[in-house]
Amino acid sequence: MSEPYVLNRLENGVLHLTINREDKLNALNRDVLAQLREAFDEAAHTPEVRCVVLSGAGQRAFAAGADIAEIRALAQEEVQPFAQHGHHLMSEIEGLGKPVIAAINGYALGGGCELALACTLRIAATTAQIGLPEVSLGLIPGYGGTQRLSRLLGPGRALHMMLTGRPIPAAQALEWGLLTEVTEPDQLLAAAGKLAGQLAASAPLAMQAIMAAVHQGADLGLARGLDLEQQYFARVCESADMREGTQAFLEKRKPAFKGC
C-alpha cells in the first residue's frame, strides 16, 4: 500500500485536496500522480463536490516539480508513458467540469507549475515562486507546460520563462495574468476557501458550460467559437437551474441551484 500522498476533505460542496509530501517539497512522483488522478476521478463522479481547492502541505511548496531522481532512472521505453501519465492527470483536472482552484503556497516549479496551469483559477501567497526550470536540467516541460503557459501568457512571456528557466515571484505572476489573486501566506487557504464557497453556491451546469466554451473555443476561429457559445447557451436555458436562477432574481432572493 502506498503512502497517503493526497489528503482530502469535503466541506459545504468544496473538496479540499492537499498534496502531502512535505519532506520532498510535494514533488510529483508516480504515487502522487496516481493518487491525484484517483481523487479527481472521484470528484468528477460525486455530485456533492461543486468546487475543488488544491494545495500543498506546509509553507514551502505547492509542488516543487516532478521527482527528478525518478525521471533520471527512466528507461527509454518508459519516458513517453511517464509523460502520458502526467498529461492524463492535467487533462482530467482541466476537463473536470467543476472549478479547480490552485492555492499556491510556495514553490510551483516544473510539474508543479504545470499542475497549477491545469487548474481553472490560481491564487498564491506573496512568497510563491512559479516557473518552468526544465531547461536547466536539459529537459523541457513534459506535462503540458509549453502549451498551457503560452496560451495563458502569450508566446513571448511563456518563452521567456521556459528558456531562462527562472521562476517569477507572485507579484509578477499576478501582473502577467498567471494569477488572479495574491494574499499573505497565512491568509491563502482562507482566501481560496472563500472563493471556492462562492463558486460552490453558483450554478453547476452554467459553470461547466462556461469552462467548456472557453477551453473548446480556444482552438477555434471566432465564428465557430460564437456558434459553440450559442449551443451551450441553448443547453443551459433548458435547465431547472436556469428557471431557479431567473425566478430567484425576480423574487429578489438567493437561488438554490441543484445542477439539473
Question: What is the C-alpha to C-alpha distance for residues 249 and 152, in angstroms, rounded to an integer?
Answer: 34
Task: Mention every residue, 6+ apart, whose C-beta is less than 8 A from residue 194.
Answer: none
Are 50 and 200 a contacting pair, CB within 8 Å? yes
What is residue 49's three-state secondary structure? coil
| Residue in 38, 78, 134, 184 annotated catalytic | 134
114 an active-site residue? yes
Reported in sequence order, the residue ranges of the chain that DSSP labels E, i.e. its strands, are 6-11, 14-19, 51-56, 61-63, 100-104, 107-109, 121-125, 129-131, 168-169, 181-183
Q: If you search the block for the grid coordinates 494574499, which residue do you land on?
A: 183
| Residue in 42, 78, 114, 229 annotated catalytic | 114
Q: If you search the block for the grid coordinates 510539474, which residue do you land on?
A: 111
244 an active-site residue? no
Question: What is the C-alpha to C-alpha distance for residues 119 and 131, in angstroms, rounded to an integer?
Answer: 15
Question: What is the C-alpha to C-alpha distance for residues 56 and 221, in angstroms, rounded to an integer?
Answer: 37
Strands of the sheet containing 168-169, edge to edge, are 61-63, 107-109, 129-131, 168-169
Q: Which residues have a catalytic role annotated?
A: 114, 134
